[in-house]
A = this chain, B = another copy of it.
């Protein structure tokens, strides 16, 4: 499992042996079963997550209904708002699949940064990258219709269609499960009409 992490990091900077050993020594590699809840509404958590393998999602419980807002898969990271704002979490985070995650809290990170400043540089670079990527995703969401959002997922994250239940994917796209079902039928129908014409 460590190798997945080190391969990913090597795209940014190759880690030294002692840096790798220090990371392994931290005992941050955790396995969770599908359905496990990592964060609950009201929690004050200091733990951030990085997905090595698996799928986790963030959802809000509104009038008894789950509303999924974010889905994290391999190489995605997530930190709760409570770490920076001091406010309790407004949402839940749970595993959509059996997942292997890195779970690191703030004080653990701080000690690591003091010992290995290069790891702090790495975290800065990763945060800046996620920030611009998230802003672009937010822009896309604002500018697109539900159909365009679905087609965008089909193009950029097609695995989600197999990995995530329909009702979770629907609220992630900002629509009802019924709308998603109609939309999928329309797209499949459109594609088969086109193949008949072509």
Contacts and interface: CB of A to CB of B under 8 A. Distances in A.
Interface of A: 58, 60, 62, 67, 69-70, 78-81, 83-85, 90-91, 113, 117, 120-121, 123-124, 127-139, 141-143, 171-172, 174
A149 to B, nearest CB: 11
Nearest to A79: B132
A124 B121 CA distance: 8
Given A117-B117, A124-B123, A69 B142 contact: yes
A135 B70 contact: yes
Given A120-B124, A124-B124, A138-B138, A84 B143 contact: no
Nearest to A110: B121
28 contacts: A62-B143, A67-B142, A69-B139, A69-B143, A70-B135, A79-B128, A81-B133, A81-B135, A81-B136, A84-B129, A84-B132, A90-B139, A91-B139, A113-B121, A117-B117, A120-B120, A120-B124, A123-B124, A124-B124, A127-B128, A131-B131, A131-B134, A134-B135, A134-B138, A138-B141, A141-B141, A141-B142, A142-B171
